[in-house]
Structures are given as C-alpha cells and as structure tokens.
Chain A
Amino acid sequence: MARLPDSIATRKVAILAANGVAVEDVNGIKKQLADEGAEGLLIAPSMAPIKALDGSMLSPDAMLNGMPSVTVDAVVVAGGEGSVKALSASGLGLYYVQEAYKHLKPILAISEGRELLAKAGIPEEEGVILVDEVLAVSLPLRDALLSHRVWDRDTRANQMPA
C-alpha cells in the first residue's frame, strides 16, 4: 500500500435490504456514515419502494445488479427476518456478498443479516463483522474502511467461487 487514507470521507457502503428490513438499521448506518462524509446506499432487489418491518416505506438508491459490489467499498447486510430471507433466496443477493468477500472488502451483518453470510459461505473471520444492533456498526466499519481492504483475506479469497 503506497499510502492509506486518513479518513473515510467519500467512501461508499452498500446497505442490502428487502421487504421486512429493520428500518433503524438502514437509517442508522446512513447517518453514521454521513457524519464522517461517507455515504450509505440502500441496495434492494428492485427499484420498487421497500416496506420495512415497522410499515414505513424506503426508496432504494439502486438495485442489486445496478450498483453491484464492485462499485462500493464495503457491504452491510441490514437486519429484519423477511429482508434477509428474501436476499438469501436471491442469486444476486448471495453473489453480492461473495463478490465483496473475493475483493477483500469489509462485510458487516446486523442481527439476522448473518444468515445471508452463512448461506453465501462467508466464514466468520477478521473483516467479517457481526453485530447485534446498529449502534455497534460505526467503529468496526470505520476501522475496516480505513485499511481500504481486508488484506489478510487474500489467500482465502481465491477459494470463493465468485
């Protein structure tokens, strides 16, 4: 690495969600990132508004194949049982995190989000951050982004069929 960044400003993070998502996860991450000049993007199976667990409606910023993982610096899987189930049943949803893993990107799952990672064959290891609630996201995600990539994963990344 020639020179690492000293802030996470302008970094882009995908927030994967579908119907049934925990709205506080999406809004919480977006706010945490915006506070540091970075950006959280709501990525959904389609451009149709998502109905969150609490009944509120969320407008996606892009579709899974519209802003694939190669266009972002890190991926967060938001919580909410229905949302995670829908993403786990989607090839694009599974591929999103697999490809991010292959490209050494930080991956973070909130509560039920870890089930998508398990189904996608993502091991629990450094750079794969599992938290129980959105307030715990900020620091580990920030630290991971400051390293740009999870370099220790390089030897295992080639085993990922993506």
Chain B
Amino acid sequence: MPETTHTVLWTMSDRAFPRHFRNMEGFGVHTFRLIDREGTSRFVKFHWKPVAGTCSLIWDEAQKLWGRDPDFNRRMMWDDIKNGAALEWELGIQVVEEKDEHSFDFDILDPTKLIPESLVPVVPIGKMVLDRNPDNFFAETEQVAFNPANIVPGIDFSNDPLLQGRLFSYLDTQMLRLGGPNFHEIPINQPVCPFHNNQRDAQHRQTINTGQASYEPNSIDGGWPSETPPSDDAHGGFEPHHERIEAHKVRARSESFGDHYSQATLFWNSQTDVEKEHIIAAYTFELSKVERPWIRERVITEILPNIDLELARRVGENHGWPPRQPSRRPRVSWAAARWKVIQPSA
C-alpha cells in the first residue's frame, strides 16, 4: 500500500531500534487542537525530544541483543533509574494557526505526514523525567490504559480521520483488555483530581454508588446524577471547540491525502550516507523474506523509485530486478491496488 511508504521507510531506518529508551524520539502522528482562554483554536503536534540525543543500535546488533538479552531496553531503563540516572525528554509543540491549515503542500490532518521542523519549529514547553521505578510492575505499568480521548482542558481533537477512529477504538480496546467499563478505577488509571461521570455498577466496580437512580431527570435522588454543563469557569463539563461546518458527508478520502511519497523522500534525503546504506540493507533483507515474488517486484519497481531512484536501483540489484524509472506520484486507487494482488504479474 503506497500509504504506508513513509512509515515503512522509518521502520527500515536506524530509527527502528533506539540504543536505549533514553535515546528514543517520539511524536504524535495526530494533529490535535490547543484552545486558549479566549476560545481560539490552533492546531498542534506534540513531540518528545530526548535530552540524551537520538542514537540507534545497528541492525545486526539489535538482532543479536534480542537473543542475548530480550529485556535489554527495559533492564537498562530500570537500572539507570535505580542508579539515579533519570531518563529525560523535553516536551515540544508545533503550533499552526487555523488560517494557515491549508498553506502546506500536504494535509496537516493526514497522520502519515509530519510537519517539517524547518517549516514549523518545535517549541519546548516542558520536560518529562523518569526518576522512579514502579513498586509493582503489573499494577503500575501493565494495567495502564492509554486512550487519546483522555484530554485536559485546553486540548481538543482535530478532524484527523485516524484520530477520530481511535477516539472510539481505544475505549473499546481497553474495555476488552481490562475486563469491563470500570478500568478507570484501577489505581494507575484513576484520575488524581475529583471527577464525575455517569457510570454505575458492572464488573470490577470500586465506587459504591448510593441511591437508586442512574439517570436524569429523576424524581427519587434529588435530581442526581446530573450532567455537568459546559461553563467558563474551571468546573464546567467538556464541550468541543465551536466550529461552523459546511461540507458534504461522503465515503471518500480527500485528494489532499494523495501524495504518499514526498515526505518519504524528505526522510531519505535527511539520512547520512551510512544511514542510507542501512536502509538499503534493511529493504534488501526484509524483501528477501517476502514469499510472493510479485509483491517484491511491486515494492522495488513501484514503491521504492518514488522514494529515491538510487535506493530502488540498489535494492533491485540485490534482488535481481533491473532498475525502472519511477511513475512519479501515481494515484493508486483501492480498486486498482486490489486488482494487482488478485492478478499477479509473476
């Protein structure tokens, strides 16, 4: 799938195996919103920049480590924290004014794209320091339930379609994984501030609700529970950013999501010569494990040339395929892609 080109390229690079968690960079693929006190919305991408620098293992080294000490990364993190060498990341944000949403040659709501730091700098606003190991790994780590829908005042969601899907699916996932709707009462997931919701009973419920009503309006429990309306003070309920919408609702992907290669090329060009060699070796190796030759051919002749011709030539050479000129920016429709799989050319 051409849509995966950019992400797969990152996983074929040295970025895929950080030397240590302290050397691992992270950023959200999703664009969120920041809402200021006046209610103005701006788009935002969140970044974690490792204070210790971004350093990687070598592929062969990572493969061997996996066998020699499969817990290497976690052990190093645990030992370092135990020895007082905290892991640190700076929290940075890229902020885009709403009026500038369409001023890029890509869609900032497309999660396969990043916003190049040369266009919008990452502004540091805080720091995360990991300086204490959990007392109980299961209770405090394994049972953590991440969910992008959990936000604090000042943050709101964008129309990024993958984010919209995840707002639903993460809740579903955690309910299945943690055995019911009350996973927010597990100590590691429990809000440390007072909170209200309208949940009651079901498996693993910790709160002992009094009264009989779980609905509103009601005449038997003094009207409680009752929905908290939005308010300008700090105690109001959540409300989404006010936005006038005038658009067609269709099942289709926006044309602005159609360029699957430019940012892959950008990443390739950002790599040093040694790092490029590592990417060539990684594609060569991984494709050697692909059983269906027509899929290997398609990656080498249709995907890679659109990232970089030299990359395609080198990987093609290792697989015995002659180089081919790229069909620059092909728009492969879902139907065409499916046809290709059903009708292999080899």
Q: Which residues of A contact B (CB under 8 A)?
A: 1-6, 9-10, 37, 68, 70-71, 73, 99, 102-104, 148-149, 151, 154
Contacts and interface: CB of A to CB of B under 8 A. Distances in A.
Given A9-B85, A68-B68, A154-B277, A2 B52 contact: no
B257 interface: no
Contact of A70 (B49, B52, B68): B68
A97 to B, nearest CB: 14
Nearest 7 interchain pairs by C-beta: A5-B53, A2-B54, A154-B274, A103-B61, A3-B54, A103-B58, A10-B85
Size bin of chain B's contact surface: 20 to 34
Nearest to B22: A10
B60 interface: yes
A71 B65 CA distance: 7
B55 interface: yes
Contact of A103 (B52, B55, B60, B68): B60
B72 interface: yes
Contacts, number: 55
A71 B61 CA distance: 9
A30 to B, nearest CB: 14
Contacts of A71: 65, 68-69, 72
Contact of B272 (A37, A70, A151): A151
A88 B272 CA distance: 36
Contact of B53 (A3, A99, A103): A3
B131 interface: no
B58 A148 contact: no
Contacts of B15: 2
A70 B274 contact: no
B41 to A, nearest CB: 31
Nearest to B58: A103
A148 B55 contact: yes
Given A3-B53, A70-B57, A102-B60, 16 more contacts: A1-B55, A1-B272, A2-B15, A2-B53, A3-B49, A5-B55, A10-B80, A37-B85, A68-B64, A71-B72, A103-B60, A148-B53, A148-B55, A149-B58, A154-B274, A154-B277
